[in-house]
Amino acid sequence: MDKEDKRKQDILDGAFSYLMKHGLPTLSYNAIARKAGVSRQLIRYYYAEPEDLMVALCDHLASLYRDGLVNGVLEVQPEDRLKFFFDFYFDLLENAPKPRDDQVYDAMMSLAAGSPVVRTNLQKQYGLIGQVVAHEIHLKYPQIGSEGADELSYLFVCLMYGHWKMVASLGLDEVHKHVTRRAIDRLIESYGVDSAPAQGKVKIWNAGPEN
């Protein structure tokens, strides 16, 4: 490796290490002020630290989903609640559209790399989704068992999040949501056929040892 290639490699290694530890920078107050039509000082008054603003934004995102779910689930029969949850998160319901927030969640996930507070907030949000879905799976498919329901809820959240990142970040056609939605049903069907107990006692939604 010549000297120029070595310098390039050092730069890439440094960028990689920094992003692994810190994620992308937070939004600047100036940029937010221009977009919101308020002064930078007013933003600093309410959110003295950028991390406080990001946590509040996480809570705002969660409230958008909570409102959509609560309003929509009241309109369906109990036996249809699980289907409603799946269809809602894959934006298949005309009367209960999923919030348009995918790029914002992309940014939050990046910030979580360097912010334990944002990371914990997002862990709780996704954990709550998983617990609700696990409960609904267990009610509708009791033969799967609680461990199977937990596994499926974790897979659902992973597939749901991964699908929208492919759409928001990489520009895949949103129509792929039908593919992932069908995969969820196939997964549940496979658990109904193979009802063997889960191997190992992994507690779903536990944070890792460094969190």
pLDDT value for 175: 95
pLDDT value for 197: 54
Structural domain including 54 reads 49-193
- CA gap 66, 198 in Å, rounded: 31
Q: Specify the pTM.
A: 0.86
Contact assessment for residue 65 and residue 99, using Cβ atoms and an 8 Å cutoff: yes
127 and 87 in one domain? yes
Confidence of residue 210 (pLDDT cuts 50, 70, 90): low
Confidence of residue 12 (pLDDT cuts 50, 70, 90): confident
60 and 21 in one domain? no
Contact assessment for residue 82 and residue 137, using Cβ atoms and an 8 Å cutoff: yes
Of 56, 66, 157, 154, nearest to 108 by C-alpha is 56
The mean of the pLDDT values for the chain is 88
Question: For residue range 157-177, what is the model confidence (pLDDT) as tens digits?
Answer: 999 999 999 998 899 999 999
- Supply 106's token pair: 């992309």
Residue at 211 is within a domain? no
Q: Is the pLDDT of residue 23 over 80?
A: no
Q: Provide the CA 149 distance to its chain's centre, in angstroms.
A: 19
167 and 141 in one domain? yes
**Dihedral sign computed on CA atoms, order 190, 195, 199, 203:** positive
CATH number at residue 127: 1.10.357.10
Residue at 208 is within a domain? no
Residue at 166 is within a domain? yes
pLDDT value for 200: 59
- CA gap 121, 127 in Å, rounded: 10
Least confident piece of the model among 28-32, 102-106, 172-176, 205-209 = 205-209
Helix, strand, coil percentages, rounded to 5, for the chain: 75, 0, 25
In the structure, how many helices (H) and strands (E) does the chain have?
A: 9, 0
Q: What is the mean pLDDT of residues 138-145?
A: 92
What is the secondary structure of 7-20 as a DSSP string? Answer: HHHHHHHHHHHHHH
Question: For residue range 144-154, what is the model confidence (pLDDT) as tens digits?
Answer: 999 999 999 99
